[in-house]
Structure formats: structure tokens, C-alpha cells
Amino acid sequence: MLKKSNLLKIFIAFGYLLFNGCGSTAPILSTPIENIDQTPVKISDLSEKEEQSWSHLDLIKDTIPGVSLELAYEKLVKPKSKTVIVAVIDSGIDISHEDLNANVWVNEDEIPNNGIDDDKNGYVDDINGWNFLGESCNEQLEYVRLLASNDTSNPRFEEAQKLHEKEVSKYSGTRERYSAIVTRLKASSAALLEYLEKD
């Protein structure tokens, strides 16, 4: 058990550290007193535009306490900028989106949707670049690319063939079921039309 004198020493040391640690704070920066009356104050009500973007405005310029974002754009971001071309390697990008459509590269040498490689670069109708993988609906899966390459030396070619056969079998059965349903629906529809004598 700790003696009273040791406990007292620990308590005093802890108190000393606590009070000295709290005593050193950073100086508070504030507007000098002589400049307080010179800071502009917004007297009128905010306009609709100011209400929407008040956080981007400047206290000195707009008399609205914001982060001065618009002022920073005016002073720092110059209208003269270099064109940067970015290649997007992804799937499922909506190039017709309002934020992207004006900035998506267009191959001027290619005539859209004519099924011909007009610019002779090896890619048919590559209007906005090359779509190596297809859309995000998985129309071009890895095993499909392996089968299309017909590279039997690839160690995964046989695996891709088996997967393809499995998929064909699965969807052939589904197709047959749906065909039978459609046949019955057509017969039912014809019987109803005959019975009701109207379309």
C-alpha cells in the first residue's frame, strides 16, 4: 500500500502537470480594436442568390461572413488553363450525364452507328473511345473473351468452355419454359377473344 507521503507526492505531481499543461494556450487572433468599426456590416436583407451562396461570399467584399470562395476563384483561378485529357478505365459511366456530356472526347473521324471503322484504327464506331469490356451489364465477361480468342493454350480456356456450356444449358431451359408460357398465353388470348367477341 502507498504511504500517505508518496500518495501526496503523486497528487502534487499530477496537479502540477495538469495546471501547467492547461496554461499554455495558443494566442487568440482577433480583429484589432481600432479596425472593428471599419469592418463593413450587411444592413439590407440577403437576396435569393446571397442566401443560396452566402458561405462562398467574402466579409470585406460582400459584407457577408463566408469563406471567400468566389474571391479566391477570381484571384487564383485564371481562365487560361491547359486542356487535360483523362482516360477513364471503368464501366457503367453515363457519358450523357449533364456534368460529363460536354467534356467527353468525341472522335471526329468516326461516323456514329454505321458499323464501319471509318478512321481505320481497328475499332468500329469508337465515337467516345474504345469500350474494351462492354457495359456494366456484363455482356463481355472474362470467359467470353477467352472463348472468343480461341486460345486453347490458355490454362483457363477449358474452365471457360465448361462455364459457357453450363450457362447455355441453364438459359436454354429457361428459354424453353418461357416459349411454352408464351404459346399458352397466345392460345388463352385467342380463346378469350373468341368468347368475348371483341378485342
Task: Note the pLDDT of residue 23.
Answer: 55
Q: Find the range with the poorest average confidence among 14-18, 134-138, 194-198.
A: 134-138
Whether 181 has a pLDDT exceeding 90, the answer reads yes
Which ranges in 24-139 belong to alpha helices (H)? 48-53, 59-62, 69-76
DSSP state of 185: H
Task: Note the pLDDT of residue 183.
Answer: 95
Q: Percent of the chain beyond pLDDT 70?
A: 73
The answer to whether 56 and 67 are in contact (CB under 8 A) is yes
Task: Give the pLDDT confidence of 22-39 residue by residue, as tens digits.
Answer: 555 656 556 666 666 666
Q: Domain-by-domain residue ranges, the chain?
A: 46-79, 93-131, 142-196
Mean pLDDT for 35-48 is 73
Query: End-to-end distance of the chain based on CA atoms, in angstroms?
Result: 100
Whether 48 has a pLDDT exceeding 70, the answer reads yes
The residue type of 2 is: L
CB atoms within 10 A of CB 57: 21
Stated length of the chain? 199
Whether 1 has a pLDDT exceeding 60, the answer reads no
The answer to whether 57 and 64 are in contact (CB under 8 A) is yes
